[in-house]
Structure 1
Amino acid sequence: MDYQAILKQYWGYDSFRGIQENIIRSIGEGRDTLGLMPTGGGKSVTFQVPALAQEGMCLVITPLIALMKDQVQNLKRRGIKALAVYSGMSRQDIITTLENAIFGNYKFLYISPERLDTEIFRIKLAKMKISLITVDESHCISQWGYDFRPAYLKIAEVRHLLPDVPILALTATATPEVVKDIQQRLEFRKENVFRMSFERTNLAYVVRQTENKASELLHILQRMEGSAILYVRNRRRTKEVTEWLQQQGITADFYHAGLDDAVKDIRQQRWQKGESRVMVATNAFGMGIDKPDVRLVIHLDLPDSIEAYFQEAGRAGRDGQKAYAIILYAQSDSTTLRKRIPDNFPEKDYIRDVYEHLQYYYEMAMGDGLGCVREFDIEDFCRKFKYFPVPVDSALKILTQAGYLEYTDEQDNASRLLFSVGREELYRLRELGEDMDRLIQAALRSYTGLFTDYAFISEETLAIRTGLTQRQVYEMLKELSRRRIVSYIPRKKTPYIIYTRERVESNRLNIPPAVYEERKARYEQRIKAMLEYVTNDTACRSRMLLHYFGEQNEHDCSQCDTCLRLRHKITTDKQADSLSGRVLHCLSGHSLTPAALADQLLVEKDLLAETLRQMMDDKQIFTHNGMLQIRK
């Protein structure tokens, strides 16, 4: 198979990078394959090239909607047919997309793991000709990993529906334990791993200890040029820090999962074009976003694992030019990080209480519940039962893993539209204007039953079909709603509780060690590793990170803050050794004051003072009446 010809035809490259070709040939030969490649290592080429080389379609499973949209657009620009199914699409749009995947001669179908378990997908999948299954962010399938997602466990069921189709798993962060677990969970026929070195020779890792993070942050941004990502722990902080940076004259935007999709797209585009220099974000930002010239990734708050830090830091310098990954660390950060352990793993009695109060919240009788789906407003729940949101969120996730319910965290609900006026009255309206009329016609052509019941709609689809922007579509629908021509319910992000079994007595809840004690122990280990990394002042930071992921290398990076400090110390020590010999030479035969000695030696006063102190400690010299003398 001439994979290089495909690479040249569609991407314009003459040769593959690193382990790309090894992975491509392995999957092309039908072998289940796991590829470990750092951020920016060119993962997408490893499944796109072999998929183009054979008949049928590649099913790409990824949780990253931004990545789906970005890669589908990139493939289309190259003349390659690609589709995506993700949360927020209407049922009709999903059905249309899946039908196109069956009959439209498409090469790629991107889908989120949550969609794998839907009846409509399973029915349509049986009619598709799938040549390859690709699992991106495959570490999410491992309960021992830092970002476990239960929906990933459904992938093995899809394998049973497609028994002869090989699977390619890809990840940028996996410990040796997780590497083994990924292959077992995805039911690899045989272990088969390709590893690309995680070493980033152009990326300098720095930990700056400071009790005044604002001052240090400003100093770094003023001293160093280029685009930057600034990671903080929560949504509230993204806005506060952005406003502060703007007051300092630095262009900045903020980004988190709770923002409207249109707002996120605008801010992302502004940052990617360089119109705003700094993106202040939670960990929701960065995955699937390809901006190669990020010069700085700064963590204002500590991540709770090396895996998360390594992935976020790796977004700097993807163009191969010098870049910096900087953590600003204060002593209080250690306490803050350790507090996340009880936040993420509240006591079992607390989890039982949350479960019990959930039944009161929904007025759920004993034995009821199986299959029930309920919207969940965590703020309202916490207000009624006097809880704090973070441990409640964690308790619900543990109950999900224990099999009692499914807690979907902020799922997109598609917008809904219903015409409030009849068809005849609608056609009599003349003063709405050309754009509004075009929008109404597009809605009527795109969706059925709009006069009798609410229909799920997509502002994005309507924007494409009318030539308007998504913001214009949104504002026009709001105006039509204000005039009572339509009833418009904009899309919102709503968590759901889905009962996967009937309600039981809270004292009969079984939360097994694999779900609680073992996962808590691993979480504590990850916290400990993160704290060891930031408090270390003797080992090369690059080597520490590589060692964590099971990669041994024998050389220091020579550019992290630890390497630079140790090199400076060695240089200073050598200078001091040389200087002590010159001091002894000057003092041989007569005494001198420190000032007179400094005049003779012509050296920095600080270095001389340190050398004299060391020589006194070593009993080489002493002072008598303010005069330096050699000890006989």
Structure 2
Amino acid sequence: MPKPIEILKKYWNHDAFRTPQEAIINSVLEGKDTFGLMPTGGGKSITFQVPALMMEGICLVISPLVALMKDQVENLQSKGIKAIALTGGIHSEELIDLLDNCQYGNYKFLYLSPERLQSDWVLERIKNLPINLITIDEAHCVSQWGHDFRPAYLKIAKLKEFFPKTPFLALTATATSKVQEDIIAQLQMQNPQVYTKSFARENLAYMVFNVEDKLNLLEQILKKNPQPAILYVNNRKSCSETTLQLNALGYSSTYYHGGLSAKEKEKNRMLWMDEKVQVMVATNAFGMGIDKGNVKTVVHLHIPSNLENYYQEAGRAGRNGEKAFAILLTNPSNVIHAESQFISILCDKAFLKTVYIKLCNYFQIAYGEGLDEKFTFNINHFCTKYSFPVLKVYNALQFLDRQGILTLSQEFSEKITLQFSIPSKEVMRYISLNPQDEEVLLTILRTNPGVYESQSVINISLIAKKSNSDESQVLAILHKLNEKGIIALHAKNNDASITFNEVREDDRTINRVAKYLEAQNELKTNQLQSVLNYIKEDSQCRSKLLLNYFGEKTNEDCGVCSYCISKNKKQVSTQTIAFEIIELLKKEELNSRDIQKSLNYPKDAIIFALQVLMENDTIIMNPTNLYSIKK
């Protein structure tokens, strides 16, 4: 058997492991259940990929992140290693073929989502595979106290019955001590070896700045640190708006969010990776699988919803070991907005049930039907039709996705709208002369009665299903009708698809997951409060606050965060600051922002000195807010 370091060198071209990678690998090779807590950027995938390549058989990897599964499969395949992923949306017939490939095709890695284990026949097929290691990635999803808990993860323990001698390896980047204990219990791990890597990042300075003019401070940050930067925002609109603002100020930037096409995402990602632009403005859709060592600055322009995500996103700075900055910009109005925003979009059982029923009606899914049905979906149209708040609906859909009831895919497609340009009697005449188009046209008229009066959204998947056609046939007919002037056809970007993983059962479906909804709402409320406490707490080291949150106790301050820097700064008298302000104003009139840029003192101290000078009639402010020496 080759040694772990030989596998690492052969496939990854590294000469040494990071702590605690080698210890985890040796534990797995000894057949022991193992728990690994490795903060973001710690190289979790190495800990199961290396031992799996050393042993006969297949490594089963259970992960909820489709994008990460695809990324890892592609990376393994690029190294000549046979790997396959069974993601959501794959129909049973294709699944059978893929599992046959695993059994007879000499594959080394099988990735699947936890929801797949809910199918008894999939479990039966997996039982017959030569599994050498069972890896549970993003293992915090196992715990009801972990962010993004998924009930489907609770099925994983059943694999212990089928593979009693196969080691379990649970991996996560963010888990409190309570979550760690729950993961081990829920997975029924036997005397597991536990390896944790400190959450401390000695080279990373955590900064929190309470500031009204965020763009001005952001400009100063980027000017001082011209290396690659990531700027996280909470929504797609802010992505494009902030990018435009930065480009107008002369800072090259691009943006990334879930609504972009795969082609646009890759293009923008490579612009930033190749350093053709300095700043990537992104939602939290960006970052998974991104390993760029020289990111100098990660800035959060909006308040994150939990410290787990914040730590992961901030941790993308300084992976090369050089000093880097994780900066959170906030102000009192942001705090008020965050409290109302995050809490107001939490949905209760009644709202969840209403959304689910309306969604089924929207796609014309009858009770007891809908299994494996896939539809293109525009959330804005759905919310407009039923007068729902968009963010609250999106939150409900994400919950249904995590429970495995449906799969919400963020992907680029087209939204088709059309309106008939000729009277109904002329449409009937066309149908009589073109019977091959009859089923499609009649289905459109039955499902969209308003197509004569205005542009109506057409669900191509639904039309194809109801007319016993395929989508390409429907589209071909529509384009033909458009060319003949019978309809006015428009195609717009659509940003999602929905796959129903269960038959429609309304009450039974929602009642089954209601207890998880209540627990998750309580958890999210508490997590947001932890973020707000982190922001408001200005009498402790920022790094220490984060370490304590994750159960890592320390009495030492980091010395580099915003608190430590302000604490270590020598207290400068107001008289000294006032003297320096007067010297500046002797040369020219200045506003408060220019004075702050010129003097390296805290903003509050400068404002107080200005007030003292004004009260003593030493300086005056003119109508354009410029300060000058009083004559």
TM-score by structure 2 length? 0.72
Match of 1:462?
none
From the superposition, tell whether residues 161 and 522 of structure 1 become closer, same or farther in structure 2 (CA, over 3 Å).
Answer: same
1:516 to 1:81, Cα distance in 2 relative to 1, 3 A: closer
> How many Å apart are 1:95 and its aligned residue?
5.4
Query: C-alpha displacement at 1:87, in angstroms?
Result: 4.9
Paired residue total: 514
Q: Could you tell which deviates more after superposition, 318-327 or 64-73?
A: 64-73
- Does the 8 A contact of 1:115 with 1:121 survive in 2? yes
Q: Which amino acid aligns with 2:543?
A: S
Partner SS for 1:294: coil
Q: What do the CA deviations read for 1:287-335 (whole angstroms, capped 9, x no partner)?
A: 1122121111110111111111001111111111111111111111111
Residues 32, 370 of structure 1: alpha-carbon distance in 2 compared, 3 angstrom cutoff: same
Q: Which amino acid aligns with 1:140?
A: C
Alpha carbons of structure 1 residues 262 and 396: separation in structure 2 relative to 1, 3 Å: closer
| Structure 1 residues 600-629: Cα deviation after superposition (integer angstroms, max 9, x where no partner) | xxxx9x99xx9xx9xxxxxxxxxxxxxxxx
Equivalent in the alignment of 1:212: 213
Say whether residues 1:493 and 2:496 are aligned partners.
Answer: yes
Contact 1:370 1:502 in 2 (8 A): no
- Aligned position for 2:531: 530
Offset at 1:191?
4.4
Give the aligned partner of residue 385 of structure 1: 386
Q: 1:114 to 1:267 in 2, by over 3 A?
A: farther
Match of 2:560 in 1: 559
Give distance in 2, aligned partners of 1:61 and 1:380.
34
Q: State the 1:252 CA deviation.
A: 1.6
Decide whether the 8 Å contact of 2:19 with 2:197 is kept in 1: yes
Q: Measured at CA, do residues 130 and 531 of structure 1 come closer, stay the same or move farther in structure 2, by a change above 3 Å?
A: same
- Distance across 2 between alignment mates of 1:32 and 1:210: 48
Please state if 1:105 is matched with 2:114.
Answer: no
- Distance across 2 between alignment mates of 1:93 and 1:164: 30
In 2, are the aligned partners of 1:64 and 1:287 still within 8 Å (CA)? no
Shift, 1:74, TM fit: 3.6
Separation in structure 2 between the aligned mates of residue 288 and residue 480 of structure 1, nearest angstrom: 43
Amino acid at match of 2:312: Q
> Aligned-pair distance for 1:340?
3.4
Matches of 1:13 and 1:164, distance apart in 2: 31
User: Does the CA-based 8 Å contact 1:413-1:493 persist in structure 2?
Assistant: yes
Pairs within 5 Å for 1:443-454: 454=470
Structure 1 residues 313, 368: closer, same or farther in 2, change over 3 A?
Answer: same
* 2:38 corresponding residue in structure 1: 37
- Once residues 359 and 51 of structure 1 are traced to their aligned partners in structure 2, the CA distance between those partners, rounded to angstroms, is 43
Q: How does 1:300-311 map to 2 (within 5 A)?
A: 300-311=301-312
Post-superposition offset of 1:78: 4.1
Percent of residue pairs identical: 42
1:196 maps to 197
Counterpart of 2:54? 53
Check whether the contact 1:295–1:322 (CA below 8 A) recurs between aligned residues: yes
Once the two structures are superposed, what CA deviation does each residue of 1:137-180 show, in whole Å capped at 9, x if it has no partner?
A: 11122222122234433433444443432111111101111111
Relative to 1, partners in 2 of residues 1:281 and 1:159: Cα closer, same or farther, differing over 3 Å? farther
Distance between the aligned counterparts of 2:191 and 2:480, measured in 1? 59
Q: Is the 8 A contact 1:373 1:499 kept in 2?
A: no
Question: Aligned with 2:59: secondary structure?
Answer: strand
C-alpha distance in 1 between matches for 2:91 and 2:502? 23
Q: Partners in 2 of 1:378 and 1:282 — Cα distance?
A: 18
Q: Provide closer, same or farther for how the CA distance between residues 504 and 91 of structure 1 changes in structure 2, counting only shifts above 3 A.
A: closer
Contact 1:33–1:192, Cα closer than 8 Å, also in 2: yes
C-alpha separation between the residues in 2 aligned to 1:383 and 1:231? Answer: 28
Against the structure 1 CA distance between its residues 407 and 105, is the aligned structure 2 distance closer, same or farther, given a 3 Å change threshold?
A: closer
Per the alignment, residue 408 of structure 1 pairs with: 407
Structure 1 residues without counterparts, runs of 5 or longer:
416-451, 457-478, 580-603, 614-632
Q: Name which of structure 1's ranges 126-135 and 285-294 shifts more when overlaid on structure 2.
A: 126-135
Structure 1 CA distance for aligned equivalents of residues 90 and 294 of structure 2 = 33
Corresponding position of 1:599 = none
Q: CA deviation at 1:263?
A: 2.0
Q: Which amino acid aligns with 2:407?
A: T
Secondary structure, aligned partner of 2:264: helix
- Alignment CA distance shift 1:348-1:79 (3 Å): closer
TM-score by length of 1: 0.72
For 2:565 and 2:554, the matched residues in 1 are separated by: 18
Match of 2:278 in 1: 277
Q: Name the counterpart of 2:22.
A: 21
Determine if contact 1:56/1:130 at 8 Å carries over to the other structure.
Answer: yes
- For the pair 1:143 / 2:165, whether they are aligned, the reply is no
SS at structure 2 position matched to 1:572: coil
What amino acid maps onto 1:406 in structure 2? I
Q: Aligned AA for 1:194?
A: Y
For residue 97 of structure 1, report the CA deviation from its aligned partner: 4.5
Q: Which runs of 5 or more structure 2 residues have no equivalent in the other structure?
A: 415-467, 473-478, 485-490, 577-598, 609-631
Change (3 A) 1:111 1:480: farther
Post-superposition Cα deviations, 1:178-230, rounded to whole Å, max 9, x if no partner, equal 11122222221234421111111111111111111111112211121211111
Q: Could you say which structure has the larger radius of gyration?
A: 1
Rate the CA distance shift 1:158–1:523 in 2: closer, same or farther, 3 A.
same
CA distance change for structure 1 residues 359 and 42 in 2, over 3 Å: closer, same or farther? closer
- Paired with 1:348 and 1:112, the residues of 2 have a C-alpha distance of 25
Tell me the distance in 1 between the aligned counterparts of 2:134 and 2:303: 35
CA distance in 1, matches of 2:307, 2:136: 22
**Cα displacement (A) at 1:8:** 3.6
RMSD, matched Cα: 4.0
Note if contact 2:230-2:298 (Cα within 8 Å) is conserved in structure 1.
Answer: yes
Q: Point out the more displaced range, 246-255 or 146-155.
A: 146-155
Range that drifts further, 348-357 or 2-11: 348-357
